[in-house]
Structures are given as C-alpha cells and as structure tokens.
Chains A and B, each alone.
Chain A
Amino acid sequence: MADALSAATNAAANAAVTAVDTATSAISSATANAAAAQGGAEALSAATSLPPTGVGLVLARISWFIVVPGVYIALGFGLAAIVVRLVKIFRSPPPPWQLAIYPEVSHPRQAALRDAFGMGQIRKQAPLFWIMLVIFHLGLLGIFLGHLDILPEISIVSESSRDMLGAGVFGLMVTIPIFYFIGRRFRSPVREVSTPGDYILLLLLLFTFLFGDLMSWGNSWTAQGFVMTKADFAQYFDGLLKFKFEDPRTYLHGTHYHFLVIHVLLAEAVLVTLPFTKVIHAFLSVPANILRRRTWNRK
C-alpha cells in the first residue's frame, strides 16, 4: 500500500514537473516567438524602407527642406533683418530734446534695465498679467537654453538624458500664458486696440509651442517610452551645426517626426516674421526705457 502510494506520489510529482516544464517551455517559446516577431518586424521595416517615390518623395523632400535648409534660411533672414532694422533705428537722428519723465533717477541705465526686466509698471497695474509675463519670459529663456543644450558641445543636462532641459516644463511655461494672452486680447478694451497681426502672432506662437510640447511630452507617451530622445535631437542639431545637409529622418524615428517638421516650420515662420512684428520689443525695450529715464538737463 505504502509502495503504491509512494509510486502514485512520484508519478504525480513527475507529472507536475513535466507540466511546469511544459508551461515554462511554452512561455519561453512565446517569448522567443515574440522576440523573433519583433526582430522580424524591424527587419521587415528595414527591408521595406525603400526610397519613397511619388507624393511620398515630394513630402520627404519638403520635410527635409523645412528641417535643414529652411533652418539656415530662417535664421539668416531673421538675424539679418533684425540687424538692418536696428541699424536703421539707431542711425536715425537723435531726438531734439530730452524725453525723460521725473522723478530723476541717479542711474538711468540701471533703472531702464529694471523697467525692462522687472516690468514694475505692469506689476503695479495688472498683477496677474505680470505673473503670466514673468512665467512666459522665463519659459522663453528656458526654451532657448534647452535648445542650446541639445548641441553636443553644450551639456547642461547629461547627453544620455532622454529629456531636454526642463523636461517639458519650459514648454508649459510659455504655452499656458499664451492662452491667457489670447484671452486677454479678446477682452475689451484691449480688443479695440488690437490688429489682425496681433492675433496671428499669438496663434503662430501658440502652435509653435504646442508642437514643441508634443516633442517634450507626447513624444514620451508611448508604450516604449521616448520615441525621440535628447541624443537623437543632438544628432540632428550636430548635423545642422556642421552643415551636413543629411536627412534627419534616418535617426529621428516614429510618427512624431512629422510633428517635429511642423514645429520647425512654425518656428521658422516666427523667426522670419519676428523683425517685422512687435516681438522686436525684445531688442527695443531697454533703449525705449533709457529714453524715459535719461535726463539731459540735471537740476
């Protein structure tokens, strides 16, 4: 009886072990198949990424033009136009008399810098507007540094970081205030003094920022995490910096690439129109405030 029991137990144990082995083997097999499938898909993808033809070719060439030569054109044009505009302003004759208002300040340049960067006039009159402006301008600074940081030669955050500097926060810092600015412009009495150009500029900035946010946020909301990492962008920027004229599509993967193309296109539109819009205040705010603060005739 005991022998029979022992034999039965052994048989059951063997059966269990066999079952576990079978299950393990099945899992291993499934994993291996999945891996094989993935590898196969990638291999298939690689094998089928033939040079585009027809409309695809035209779109690919347009995308390349936007993200490579377009960047040089927009930057070159924008910077040259700013320089021409500033030269025209500062080569004009000086004002015939002092334009200061009193009380007199002992250090007009410092006071002008305070006015331009502290925006005290706005803080006193419209505190919420001021908060939004401060967040917006700090966000712009962060975005500028974030884009500089993508260059391989500059490492504010590690090159191996998947995120850009600020991890998308700077993007929100400019996007949220833009919604406020648009809302404010639609309200009376600011609406009455606004021109179509004011709305278009805000919308242009809004969409540039929204597509930038997609690069920072949406780009990471995939099952595999980041589609394009800081290192990928670094490769793109390095290509631009070294005038390689290569197609960044070869290392910027996924469908987010199309958002990147739109983001770059909008940013180029901002750069090209910047010298002709009120964004020029970025360069004229300090000189304008110096006019307000500098007295020619001291008491």
Chain B
Amino acid sequence: MKTQSYIQKKGLTAKDLVTIGIFTALLWLTMLIGGLPMAPNPITTFYMPLSAALLGGPVFLLLVAKVPKRGPIAIAGILIGIIWFATGMHWAMDLGYVLGGIIGDLAAGARKYRSVKLNILAFVFLSLGATGSYICYFADPVSWSSYMLQGGTAASYIETMNTTAQGWMPAVIILGTIAVSAFSGWVGSKLLKKQFEKAGITE
C-alpha cells in the first residue's frame, strides 16, 4: 500500500504553513536589510524598493520550490504587508505587498509553480509592492506635500514639483525595481540549480 504523502495532499498542510512562516521571516529580513540603509537619506529614499528587492530572490525561489502550491506567495505578501503596517510603514506600501503577493501567486500558478521564469516574475510583482508609496507621491505630488504648506504655496515650488514628477524618477523606480528583482530572482535560480536541488531540500 503506497501511502499518501504530504505533498500529494491538496491545500496547505501544517508543514507547508510552517515552511511559509520561516521563509517569509527570511524574506522580510532581506527587505529590511536591503531597504533600511536607503530610507533615511532624502536622495536615496526613492530607490528603496530597488535595494529592498536585491537580496530576496533566492529566499523567494526556494520557498516556491519547497511549496509549489497555491497560497505561499500570496500569504507571504499578506504577512509582509501586515508586518510593515505594524511597524508603521506607509499604507500604500503595505497594500502594495499584499497585492503584489496575490498577483504574483496567480502568475506563478499559471504553470503550477514549476516554471522558474514565472516564479521570478512572481517575485518581481511582489517587489513592486514597495513602490506603492512612491506611486502615490508621483501621482499627485502637490497634494502630497500641500498640507505642509498650509495654504501658502509658492508658485515656483508647485512648478518644480510637477516637472520633477513628469521626469525620469518614477520610471527609474519602477523599471529599476523590476530589473533588480529579476536579477535577484536569476541569482536565486542559479543557487537553486547549483546547490539546493542537489542538497535535496526542494520538492
């Protein structure tokens, strides 16, 4: 009698949930370590999504390799969103991660979570979540800061705000995040092949 092993069970088992918890902890940590150094500086803070995505690829890909089912990516996004919310981060970033996780889960699910390229794409979606607050800013830069001016706005100031917003920054942030997260995912795929699959820790 060949017995039903855990992998064959549909839905997430306790082992899957524990694995998700552990690897989401690692994933969040990579975002913290990558992103935090950029945050306090006014010039580099806009590039935080890029550095936050730099280290997470290998962790993300290993998670999907260990639990190739519907759920882990979305749950990771939701948990990361909750943790960022609980630490006081901007709501758009929190929501961004939740959405990024859900969309990423759907993307990777198209090939049953076995396609490395789609898994990397899922990581890209997740990482784009961090751009949420910056998108809010670039969508309407004037109202972003107008309450600070309390009514008295210098015309020149508004002008420069608008020109900057239409400039290259938003594109750099979004495209940059896509590039960095794709690169991180690529490094992850190499590590998977070279080490983790050989070590027998993937499914």
To the question of whether A and B form a pair in one complex, the answer is no
